[in-house]
Homo-oligomer: A and B are copies of this chain.
């Protein structure tokens, strides 16, 4: 479909679809890229997924997600590193060079945000050699500050860049997700800085809608339904030199309750109207 060559459907947007449904649905709609999640990929088998995707002429824009790197105890840290090494291998096996990392929240009972952020940096240092060995780039995703306690202590693009910039740009980048960054008046300078450093590893779209549901996580809005100037982000990300896929990643029970093909068609329509 014209103009949507870079559009990628993150499978979290259409959880009602199995992997074969996803691949067939995207191929039928002319979508060229998919963003995948580890759980369904592991269930289906990464090599089988890679074959399935390739056979349909699709590429995998990213694998979601590694991370959760803030455990302070040696056992928790070792388990997190092992899991992330596995995620790196799964990314390579499924045929993507981008592993999205959600860095993890505060450990139970802790109030030490700065310490948790430093542990993320330590973990990245431990993971970069394996990532490089597998040809996979770690993509640090800043999550909206509403998730700082329980999901991701990296809350702004500036923080994500400060982490990433400690490592070679080839192996550690950042994720620009409109849902997480739209409120930040320093995001324009962050995007420019990310572009200069070649740090933009992924670009994801969702809109901000209110009221938020209990637990917040599953309250993302369809493109165009909310407060985010999506086109502004797309233009800035392009101006920053990013030429990769643009993933629609919308966690929304309302979308999951509908027919997957209908959701994809609507998302493409919204993409053309609000992003392009």
How many whole Å from A67's CB to the nearest CB in chain B? Answer: 17
Which of A128-175 touch B at CB < 8 Å? Answer: 144-146, 148-150, 155-156, 159
Given A144-B146, A145-B144, A146-B146, decide whether A114 and B185 contact each other with a Cβ distance below 8 A. Answer: yes
Which of A20-28, A32-40, A224-232 sits within the interface? A224-232
A146 to B227, CA, bound (A): 12
A155 neighbours in B (Cβ, 8 Å): 183-185
CB <8 Å contact, B146 and A113: no
The interface on chain A, measured as residues whose beta carbon lies within 8 A of the other chain's beta carbons, has a size of 33
Query: Is A112 interfacial (CB 8 A cutoff)?
Result: yes
A145 neighbours in B (Cβ, 8 Å): 144-146, 183-184
Given A106-B227, A211-B214, A211-B215, decide whether A148 and B183 contact each other with a Cβ distance below 8 A. Answer: yes
Interface string of A88-115 (1 = CB under 8 A from B): 0000000000000000001000111110
CB <8 Å contact, B208 and A212: no
Which of A38-54 touch B at CB < 8 Å? Answer: none
A213 to B211, CA, bound (A): 10
How many whole Å from A68's CB to the nearest CB in chain B? Answer: 15
CB <8 Å contact, A185 and B117: yes
Query: Is A276 interfacial (CB 8 A cutoff)?
Result: no
Query: Is A273 interfacial (CB 8 A cutoff)?
Result: no
CB <8 Å contact, B208 and A149: yes
Q: Whose C-beta in chain B lies nearest to the C-beta of A151?
A: B210
CB <8 Å contact, A185 and B113: yes
A183 neighbours in B (Cβ, 8 Å): 113, 145, 148-149, 155
A145 to B113, CA, bound (A): 17
A209 neighbours in B (Cβ, 8 Å): 149
List 7 tightest A-B contacts by C-beta distance, closest first: A148-B183, A146-B146, A149-B227, A111-B229, A145-B183, A211-B215, A214-B214
Further contacts, 11 of them, CB under 8 A, given A150-B210, A159-B185, A211-B214: A111-B229, A113-B182, A113-B185, A145-B145, A145-B183, A145-B184, A149-B209, A149-B227, A150-B211, A211-B215, A212-B214
12 contacts between A and B (CB under 8 A): A111-B227, A111-B228, A112-B229, A113-B227, A114-B185, A146-B212, A148-B183, A149-B208, A149-B210, A155-B184, A155-B185, A213-B214
Residues of A near any B CB (own CB < 8 A): 106, 110-114, 117, 144-146, 148-150, 155-156, 159, 182-185, 208-216, 226-229
